[in-house]
């Protein structure tokens, strides 16, 4: 599976990157949602899943998820992660939302959620 990690915390991004890579996934990582928009805006992106932090500078994951709802041509799935679990309640109705994880979460929790991603 091709997975994009979008999180402004460099250490967290690196930890997820190495874990997912060891699990056999093709992984990319970016530090903000602006880069995520650029990648997802390319119709040839082939990204299956975005692991998206909701609280970031410049463009938040919240803003990205709200704008993503209008992108009918993009079928990418999302897992949202946040230290503020109240933020995750906003996205229950998103058609491509696999689930929400509250930070800190365990890697087995993430792995189980990734298993739910439609292929």
Q: Is residue 116 part of a domain?
A: no
Please indicate, yes or no, if residue 67 is contained in any of the structural domains: yes
Q: Decide if 110 is inside a domain.
A: no
Please indicate, yes or no, if residue 111 is contained in any of the structural domains.
Answer: no
- Which residues form the domain of 42? 2-46+56-73+83-104
Which pLDDT tens digit goes with each residue over 47-78? 999 999 988 878 777 777 777 766 666 788 99
42: in domain: yes
> For the chain, how many structural domains are there in total?
1
Is residue 112 situated within a structural domain?
no
Q: Using DSSP, state whether 17 is helix, strand or coil.
A: helix
**Percent above pLDDT 70 for the chain:** 87
For the entire predicted model, the pTM comes to: 0.90
Q: Any idea which residue has 């800190």 for tokens? A: 104
User: 69 lies in a domain?
Assistant: yes
* One-character DSSP codes across 50-110: EEEES--SSS-HHHHHHHHTT-TT---EEEEEES-HHHHGGGTT-TTEEEEEESS--HHHH
Is 113 within the bounds of a domain?
no
pLDDT tens for residues 21-32? 999 999 999 998
């Amino acid at each position: 599976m091709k997975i994009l990690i979008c999180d402004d915390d460099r250490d967290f991004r690196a930890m997820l990157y190495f874990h997912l890579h060891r699990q056999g996934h093709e992984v990319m990582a970016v530090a903000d949602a602006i880069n995520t928009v650029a990648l997802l805006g390319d119709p040839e992106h082939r990204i299956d899943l975005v692991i998206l932090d909701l609280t970031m500078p410049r463009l938040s994951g919240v803003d990205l998820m709200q704008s993503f709802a209008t992108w009918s041509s993009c079928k990418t799935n999302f897992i949202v992660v946040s230290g503020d679990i109240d933020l995750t309640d906003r996205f229950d109705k998103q058609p491509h939302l696999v689930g929400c994880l509250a930070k800190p979460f365990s890697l087995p929790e993430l792995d189980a959620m990734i298993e739910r991603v439609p292929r």
